[in-house]
Amino acid sequence: MTRDEAVTFLIEQPYKLGHLIGFTKLTELHNAWIIDMVRGREDNTLQAHRSSYKTTCVSIALSLIVVLLPNLRTLFMRKTDSDIKEVIRQVRKILESPQMRYFVQAIYGVQLQLTTATANELSTNLSNDPRGTAQLTGLGTGGSLTGKHYDRIFTDDIVNVQD
């Protein structure tokens, strides 16, 4: 696969990446969601029923942003700090998958390496940003945002049944 083919595949058919890594129930509707999450320029709220794979789409989108837009800084927020860990873990698994490693090799000619991989932060060797901020940071809604600067902010399940 050429570099251009790999980039085009990830940009135009991200749900098929989902299929390759095991999320076989994703459809073209999910594809549109993921594309909007990665490429959208406006604030957006996605409302869909439970078990509609919204969080799966967010995880794939966050993975694609880390790979395709490596110098962007992205914040992912959920209700609590412990709630973000499952999504950060899923993004990490996607990034570490042989399929994503294949695409990174095709696009950049290097092996993907996680340079930061904690429960709430991920960065890769694809970023050359001198700020030192992780490519992806997860925070609970009660976390401190003072002095933090992000290019993109995603929220997911910031209100739960207890609210």
pLDDT digits (tens, 9 = 90+) for 94-117: 999 999 999 999 999 999 999 999
The confidence score (pLDDT) of residue 5 equals 97
Is 73 within 8 Å of 137 (Cβ atoms)? yes
The confidence score (pLDDT) of residue 83 equals 83
Residues in the chain: 163
* pTM (2 d.p.): 0.91
Residue 66, pLDDT > 90, answer yes
Place of tokens 């739960």: 160
The confidence score (pLDDT) of residue 103 equals 98
The confidence score (pLDDT) of residue 52 equals 67
Nearest 5°: the CA angle 55, 63, 32 is: 60
> Cα(30)–Cα(150) distance, rounded to whole angstroms?
25
Query: Higher model confidence: residue 51 or residue 63?
Result: 63
Assign 41 a pLDDT band (cuts: 50, 70, 90): confident
Q: Find all residues with CB under 8 Å of 72, minimum gap 6, and list them.
A: 65, 135, 151, 152
Is 30 within 8 Å of 41 (Cβ atoms)? no
Residue 49, pLDDT > 70, answer no
Secondary-structure breakdown of the chain: helix, strand, coil percentages, each rounded to the nearest 5: 45, 15, 45
Q: Where are the alpha helices (DSSP H) in 109-157?
A: none
Residue 138, pLDDT > 80, answer yes
Instruction: Give the Cβ contact number of residue 22 at 10 Å.
Output: 11
> Cα(44)–Cα(24) distance, rounded to whole angstroms?
25
Is 112 within 8 Å of 95 (Cβ atoms)? yes
